[in-house]
Every structure is written in C-alpha cells, then in structure tokens.
Amino acid sequence: MSADNPETTRQAEPNHDSAADSPLAPVPARAANPRFHDLDALRASAMLLGIVLHAVLFFMPGAWGGGGEEYPEEVSGVYTLAFFAIHGFRMQVFFLLSGFFTAMLWQRRGLQELVMHRLKRIGLPLAIGAVTVIPVTTWAFLWALPSDDEFQLWWWPLIWLTTFTHLWFLWFLLWLGAGFAALAKLGVKFDHPVIWWLAIPLTVAPQLLMDEPVFGPDTSDGLIPSPIVIGYYALFFAFGAFFYRRGIRARPWWSAALPPALTFLYEVKAEWAAPAAAALQAGYAWLMCFGLMGLFSWVAAKERFWVRYVSDASYWLYLWHLPLIVVEYKLIRDLPISPHIKFALMCAATTAILLVAYQLGVRYTPIGTMLNGKRTRRGTVSTTNV
C-alpha cells in the first residue's frame, strides 16, 4: 500500500497472444513499474469498509449486543441489508487483489523475496497483534456486551488460540501465500489461458456448503481454518494471480456490472432453493469484484496524495478499529438520539482517532515501516525506491 511496497507498483506486463481488440487484452505498460493507483485505492476501501461493517452489526437484530432489536424493523432492516451488501463482496475483492499483488511480487522479486515480504508484512503484524490487538478486542467485548465467558489473566496472551477475531484474514493470507509459494515451486505459472476462469463457477460449490444465515460466506476465525471458507477465498486469490499473470487490466466499462450485482442482492429470498441462492451469492461477489475494479480504474487511476495516504493508513485502521467500535457502542448505546447518528458517530470517531494515532505515532515509526515500508515526511528526500 505504499510507494516502496512492490504490491502497489506495476511491472511491464507479460506478453501474451491476445487479440488487440479484446476487452480483456493485456494493456502494454507505459513506464517501468508505475503504481496501480486504482487497485491500491480499491484494496484500501475494502479494508476501511470493515469499520462500517462492524459498526453495522450493532444495529442488526440478533447480532452483537442485540442492538437492532431495540429499533423498528424499518430501521434495523436497513442495517441488515447494508451488512449483507458489504459482507457479500468485501473480502472477496480483498483476496482477489491480494492474489494479484502476490503474483506481481513473485514476478518482480522471485519466490524467496515473496516469502520474506509476506512474513514481514503479514506474519509479524499477526504475531504482534495476537498478544496486543486480539486480547484488547476480547476485553472490549467482555466489558461492553453481556457474556458468560471468563478469562484468567494468564490466558489473555493466548486468546488467539481460540480466535483471531477480525485478524483472521491475516492468518488466511499466510495460508494462501504458502500455498501459492508451494505451487510456484512446483512450476505452476498461474497463466493458463482458460483454467483459471473456472474459479468463477467453482465458487458456487463452497457457497452452497456455507452454514451461517447470512448473504455471503461464513466466517472462520479459529486456529484451524474451515476448509470450505478458505477454499472459497482461495478461488478469488488464485484468480487474482491469474489476473496479473495474464496481463489483464480493468476497464472503466466494467463498472456496468454493479447494477446487475445489486439486483442479485435484492433477489435472494429465504424461500429460494439452496443452489439458486448460492449461485446468486457467488454471482454477486464476482460482479462486485469486476464492477468495482472498473469503477476504480475510472475514478482512481491518477495519483492523489490523500488517496495514497489513506491507503497506507488503512492497514493500521483495520488492525485497531474493532475494540474502539465496541467501546464506543457501549458509551453511546443509551443516548436518546437516532440510531443513524450513533452509527455515524461510531464510524467517524473510530476513523478520526486512528488517523491521528497513525500520523503521530505510526507512519514514521518502526510500526509504520513494518506495516507499509519506510516513509519520509513530505519535503524531504526519500531514499526508497519509487
């Protein structure tokens, strides 16, 4: 998510025998290693939507704290729909882009550098978060919401053995990165002209096996990932790797996929047969992936400092947002104000607090270097590769 981070720089695209007039034909690189500003911004947006998603849960009936049960159905129903709409595509987009940038890093620096990069940018933050973010998040839930769970003091640093909470995606990325490295070591090139397109219909199968009564995939936050859930996300990850290796580039007209995607969301009903519902949910995820890539290639293709800044900060914001969201909900739950105002306050306060913390205590510190690579202040000469 940074200027010196190879995940946000673009290598000259590989040459393939694609028809020049094909909408999926590779687009020749105009310069050596320019940034993918659009995909960088999209990935950051997917991360930041996590703040919205987790705040929404407090206003859904039957979700965290049962807050949604206090409001009329026309109010709680809005938040339920918002949750389904975001949950149905957010992590799918993220894992697709992670596969894309993983393939880029592999092609640019080789397999050994890819492994070391993933350990530094993902493994180390997860290891530190296991004894900081996860215990603090668990404490916040126990303080804010009624629970019969009790933890002895000695157990707090080991809570990650039970749950990774919202950091489960880092654990998944390590598994998927290891799988990618193993396949690359065996000679898989991730550039077959046809086979990777099968990932799209294949996602219907794991979606059909999901158990949770939500629109979209189940959550798996334990030490041993659910084979169904990680297999589901592995299809998006693999497709992202193929997407880069085949030199495919998102086009603005892909944004036309967004209206049909929203139709898919609206059409799924409880009485639908499971195969049809699974197909619509998988279709929604893929249409949103392609539609959002098209939209961001249209509106975020140019470099903007504030977009790059927020992209850098998004990792930090996601790591620490959940305990703040939980505490804020506890503090404002009984205020006699509209639930919509409560929701907006939670999102705004969490973002503002963590952005200030990022600027003052993270961006130019070893923590920021661990998350995004070394940063230099504006107006100074950077010694990093750009």
H or E element: which one contains 331? Answer: helix 305-332
Q: Are 310 and 44 in contact (CB under 8 A)?
A: yes
Please tell me the predicted confidence (pLDDT) of residue 205: 97
Mean pLDDT of the chain: 86
Statement: residue 8 has pLDDT above 60: no
122 and 170 Cβ atoms separated by less than 8 Å: yes
Least confident of 41-55, 60-74, 225-239, 297-311: 60-74
- Domain membership of residue 380 (yes or no) is no
CA distance linking residue 34 with residue 360, whole number of Å: 29
Instruction: Print the domain residue range for 322.
Output: 6-372
Tokens found for residue 237: 């990850």
Q: What are the structure tokens assigned to 268, written together? A: 């799924």
d(CA 313, CA 367): 11
**What's the 3-state SS for 123-184?**
HHHHHHHHCCHHHHHHHHHHHHCCCCCCCCHHHHHHHHHCCCHHHHHHHHHHHHHHHHHHHH
Of the pLDDT bands very low, low, confident and very high (cuts 50, 70, 90), residue 112 is: very high
320/324 Cα distance (integer angstroms): 7
Cβ contacts of 283 within 8 Å, gap of 6 or more: 261, 264
pTM higher than 0.85, yes or no? yes
Question: Any residues with CB less than 8 A from the CB of 381 and at least 6 apart, and which?
Answer: none
Residue 177 near residue 122 (C-beta atoms within 8 A): yes
Return the bridge partners of 35, or none: 9
Average pLDDT over residues 123-143: 95
Query: How many domains does the chain contain in total?
Result: 1
pLDDT in tens, 181-204: 999 999 999 999 999 899 999 999
| Residue 379, domain member (yes or no) | no
Q: Which of 81-90, 269-278, 289-298 has the lowest mean pLDDT?
A: 269-278
- Evaluate whether residue 109 is within a structural domain: yes
Are the beta carbons of 244 and 16 closer than 8 angstroms? Answer: no
In a domain, 49, yes or no: yes
Residue 384 lies in a domain: no
Angle at 211 between CA 206 and CA 213, to 5 degrees: 120
Q: Using alpha carbons, select from 327, 324, 310, 264 the residue that is nearest to residue 290.
A: 264
- Residue 236 is assigned to a structural domain of this protein: yes
Q: Is residue 150 part of a domain?
A: yes
Question: Rounded to whole angstroms, how far apart are CA atoms 241 and 87?
Answer: 22
Is the pLDDT confidence value at 107 over 60? Answer: yes
C-beta neighbour count of 46 within 10 angstroms = 23
Please, what's the b/e burial string for 170-183 (b: 16 or more CB within 10 A of its CB; e: otherwise)?
bbbbeebbeebbee
- CA–CA gap between residue 204 and residue 232 (Å, rounded): 9
In this model, does residue 28 exceed pLDDT 50? no
The pLDDT of residue 268 is above 70: no
43 neighbors 97 (Cβ within 8 angstroms): yes
Residue whose entry in the numeric block shows the structure tokens 């673009």: 10
Rounded Cα–Cα distance for residues 371 and 367 (Å): 6
More confident residue, 10 or 290: 290
pLDDT of residue 330: 92
Q: State percent of the chain over pLDDT 70.
A: 84
DSSP code at position 123: I
